[in-house]
Amino acid sequence: MLRISFRASCALSLALLCLLSAAPVQADEIVVKGQPMSGQVVKVTAKGLEVKTTYGKGNVLVAYDDITSLRTDEPFTLIVSDEHEVPGRLVGVRDGNLLVGDDPASAREVAVSALHDSVTTKEFEESRMLQLKSFLRYWRAKYNLSFAATDSTTNTLDFATGYEIERRKKPTRFLTTGSYRFGTVDDPNDNPSGEKTSANELIGTVRGEYDLTERIYSFADTYAEYDEVESLSLRFTPKAGPGYRILNIDTASETRLWSVDVGPGWVYERFFGGDDNSYFTIAFGTEGNFTLPWGTRLTFRGAYLPAVDDWANSYLLRGKADLTFPMTSWLAFTTGIQDQYTSQPADDAQHNSLTGTAGLALVF
């Protein structure tokens, strides 16, 4: 009897285990194009809801336009552009906006284009990292580093690093960038005295903007540069004025920004040995930021600063473009090109300076 009871107990335990493992995933109320869908919402994105189905086929992305009715059992915390967080259950979709609250009549409407991230309320309350990410969502930062060395007939060493920090929250925008580049070359046949510096350049910029309308804004920025190879002790170019955004789309899933600006400015240059050059200018500028396939990001900036009293013979022209290819959520491969032309360089320097870089970047 004991033996039969033991076998029966094992069989009963095995049956209960199978029943528990086969129990369906907790389901939310989801109706897609008039048909009920068995599953649970696990993620809210700008493109749609990620639903973990009970059919065993993984997560399915459901577009908002296809959702007939919706109600989640678990509350979410939506991180959006205009405020810190919007907590509550998802109770429907209206005119392309998510309804968040206890019922559709009293729910808040959240524009899906403004979504930055979403987690369950429980996850958000338990994670300091998610709370910090929400607090810093208006900020974007990138730090890049590249290094190259050659040991051959001609020995070379090149090092470049830089950062970019941006805070964009309507109606203001703040941007600061910095870069440093250093290079040496050792060619005994050309330079018997030893190693020679091929690059030693430091650049920093600060820019602020204030929106006057959806597309028109005012700006003020300044640019400072040191370049040993160009015999440039300091180049300082402050400017300010109005700007206009030709393209103005910036969401969690897509960025298409292109602006132009114009305004008065001043160019001051001091060279090694004490010589200097300065003039007033009407500065023209452009800037762009585009999301490309596979999450690649293209950014470019350009400026033309001619002298007011001698625009044909005294001017400064510069441009920069970067491509950032994401590798992980925080690491990317970046490559760029920078060109600057000055009509009045130092006596021993060239008019044009062209630089290309490639390396890794930390993205925040």
Write the pLDDT tens digit of every residue in 257-278: 999 999 999 999 999 988 899 9
Q: Is residue 357 pLDDT above 70, yes or no?
A: yes
Write the pLDDT tens digit of every residue in 294-332: 889 999 999 999 999 999 999 999 999 999 999 987 899
Mean pLDDT estimate for the chain: 84
The one-letter amino acid code at 199 reads: A
Q: Is the pTM of this model over 0.75?
A: no
- Report the percent of the chain where pLDDT is more than 70: 82
Full 3-state SS string of 227-255: ECCCCEEEEECCEEEEEEEEEEEECCCCE
Most confident of 28-32, 220-224, 248-252: 220-224
Q: What is the pLDDT of residue 194?
A: 65
- Confirm if 72 and 28 have CB atoms less than 8 A apart: yes
Q: What is the pLDDT of residue 23?
A: 43
CA separation for the pair 91, 111 (Å, rounded): 14
Q: Which of 178, 170, 160 is nearest to 215 (CA)?
A: 170
Q: What is the pLDDT of residue 3?
A: 46
Q: Which of 362, 359, 342 is nearest to 351 (CA)?
A: 342
Q: Is residue 25 pLDDT above 50, yes or no?
A: no
Task: Please give the DSSP secondary-structure letter assigned to residue 187.
Answer: -
- Give me the numbers of helices (H) and strands (E) for the chain, helices first please: 3, 25
Name which residue leads in pLDDT, 303 or 104.
303
CA separation for the pair 354, 346 (Å, rounded): 16
Name which residue leads in pLDDT, 2 or 87.
87
Q: What is the pLDDT of residue 152?
A: 59
Q: How confident is the model at residue 9 (pLDDT cuts 50, 70, 90)?
A: low
- Report the percent of the chain where pLDDT is more than 90: 41
Match 């950032």 to its residue by tokens. 324
